[in-house]
Structure 1
Amino acid sequence: MILFNTLKHHLPSIIDFIANHTVDSEVNLSKLGDSLMDLYTGHLSLDSIFEETLYFLKEQGITSEEDYRVFLEKHQGYATFQLSDTSKWVFLWGNEPERYVHIHPARYSPFTIRIKSATLKTAVMLKIRNVQQLDTDSINTARKSIGLSPIKSMEKVTNIIEAMTLLETTQA
């Protein structure tokens, strides 16, 4: 019923992805998209997010796909709701069969950051490869492996370093 891209919107899932990466991990990074995204950095597990989402829908009397369609139509195609940790989330129409409730963190919500997908993909790949010394060669090797263009100098990597720090801080 719920469509939620964990690798794009849930930092704890990304941390788990890094810890349990496989040979296919590079391919899976394509799920991070190609633009800006909102990433939930809070403590709620996926199960908690889904349970609270379903509870909200039930409270609204939404028990079927048609109920959900009507609900979104009344809200001009999207609606927001709040979880127990005060984070705000967005309802959209899901584009997968039987997963019509699409959710993602709301822009500028508590426990949410906006990040470029290329930045996050690069940081994740560097963490998967356990790169300790950042230089243009190591960064560009990681970026090339996931289909991203190279950086020209280390002056442009502040956001990558911040994303790697976020991944490290959350693991502790």
Structure 2
Amino acid sequence: MNFISSVPPPFILNCWKHHFQFLKINSAIPFEEIKKGIVQIGESQMDIYVGNLSPVEICNEIEILLSHQFKINLFNYLQWLMSEGKGFRLIEISDGSCWTLRFGEDPLNFIHLHPGRKSPLTIRVKAQVLKIALLAISLNEIEELNTNKINHLRKEYLNLPPVKSIKDDGAVLNLIKLFK
């Protein structure tokens, strides 16, 4: 399994950070594989696409939109990307979601995709919240999830300090509800 992306070149999309349906499907994989995926999530907050389009469908739509503007290759993409002087561009696809396009440093996967911040069909999540939710689901700890269970996950797998109350980590409970 490719833990960063399940999309074709020239795209790169870290589905562990940015695609909810990918996460939902992969939350059922063996625990050791979940741990490998969690490493790809990083430490900051991220926007996660919660719409119905698959990663490949998103890339196909963006590829069509870009191909109407230029022949897709590394040089043309960089020129287009830098044309507004920001180093990134936003593009809207058929379901109304917006995607941020950046430069991917791999010469074969140079179109780096992220869901747009505050875009329709996205949620903003802290990395530790996503990691704890995935661990809880993978370890079948979601029934009667309590402060002790969350603190065990935080300490045992993520080396994070405990929370005083499950209410302090309410975002985990909200995210787990989305997975159900």
TM-score in same-fold range (> 0.5)? yes
**Higher helix content, 1 or 2:** 1
Instruction: Tell whether 2:39 aligns with 1:30.
Output: yes
Tell me which residue corresponds to 1:126.
136
The 8 Å contact of residues 81 and 102 in structure 2, kept in 1 or not, is answered as yes
Q: Of 21, 42, 48, which aligns to 1:39? A: 48
- Asked if 1:70 corresponds to 2:82, the answer is no
Cα deviation, residue 97, structure 1? 3.8
Alignment of 1:1-172 (within 5 A): 1-75=10-84, 76-131=86-141, 132-144=143-155, 145-168=157-180
The 1:137–1:97 alpha-carbon spacing in structure 2 relative to 1, beyond 3 Å, is: farther
Q: Distance in 2 between matches of 1:9 and 1:60?
A: 26
CA contact 2:61–2:93 (8 Å) conserved in 1: yes
- CA deviations 1:83-114 (Å, max 9, x no partner) are 11010101101123411100111011110111
Structure 2 stretches lacking a partner, 5+ long: 1-9
Q: Which residue identity does 1:84 align to in structure 2?
A: S
Partners of 1:98 and 1:33 in 2: CA distance: 23
- Counterparts of 1:92 and 1:17 in 2: how far apart (Å)? 26
Q: Which runs of 5+ in 1 are unaligned?
A: none
Aligned length: 168
- Taking CA–CA contacts closer than 8 Å with sequence separation of 6 or more, which of the two structures ends up with the larger relative contact order? 1
Question: What do residues 35-57 of structure 1 show as CA deviations (whole Å, max 9, x unaligned)?
Answer: 11100000001121011011111
State the secondary structure of the residue aligned to 2:114: strand
Output the TM-score relative to the length of structure 2. 0.88
Question: What is the rounded CA distance, in whole Å, between the counterparts of 1:125 and 1:153 in structure 2?
Answer: 18
- Take 2:133 and 2:79, find their aligned partners in 1: how far apart are those partners? 40
TM-score by length of 1: 0.92
Question: What percentage of aligned pairs have identical amino acids?
Answer: 30
Deviation of the 1:134 alpha carbon: 1.2
Residues 126-150 of structure 1 show CA distances to partners (whole Å, capped at 9, x for unaligned) of 0111111212221122223133332
Runs in 1 of length 4+ with deviation above 4 angstroms?
A: none
Give 3-state SS (helix, strand or coil) of 1:43's partner.
coil
